Amino acid sequence: MSVSRAGFTRLVLLNSHGGNPPVLDYIARDLHEETGMQLFSIMISRMGLPDAVTDPDENAWGMHAGESETSWMLALAPELVHMDRANGAGDYPRMPDGIRHLAVRGPVGFSWLTADLSAVGVLGNPRTATADKGHAYVEATVDKLAGVLEEIAAFDGPQRAGERR
């Protein structure tokens, strides 16, 4: 509310945590209604970035200290990564036989917590992470985000159905 009172007309909510998008979408809608500001909820993993991960299991499950996130960290803060601790990681959850439509990421989801899917808190395979992959992810993210922010700066909302400008 104070951002709106200060005269801002746009606010970007930049997120990289998988549990936050629904909450931020509701907040954005409610604040738009209350203040008239344009709010933009950006989830980095949903920006349609090219991903060097080609393993189907990693694409399905690698979302918490897996290849992508570990590669990011190897590129941005390698001193925080302890690859020697990754030896027990890299096993993937398995869906029950016959499940064709449900997925942790996909059009039909189900409720879950990381502890439901991993005994060690890792979802994915950090052992295949590299700093080079991380640099590629960071570069692609920065490029895409720059384009998104340029659009946001120029955005005046869609033309409302039934009205002509």
Q: Where do the structural domains in the chain lie, given as residue ranges?
A: 49-141
Cα gap 56→127, rounded to integer Å: 16
pLDDT average, residue stretch 69-96? 92
pLDDT above 70 for 84: yes
Nearest CA to 39 out of 50, 47, 31, 51 is that of 31
Superfamily (CATH) of domain 49-141: Creatininase (3.40.50.10310)
For the whole model, what pTM was predicted? 0.82
Give tens-digit pLDDT for 121-137.
999 999 999 999 999 99
Q: Which structure tokens are listed for 27?
A: 């907040």
- The token duo for 156 is 């005046």
Mean pLDDT of 97-120: 91
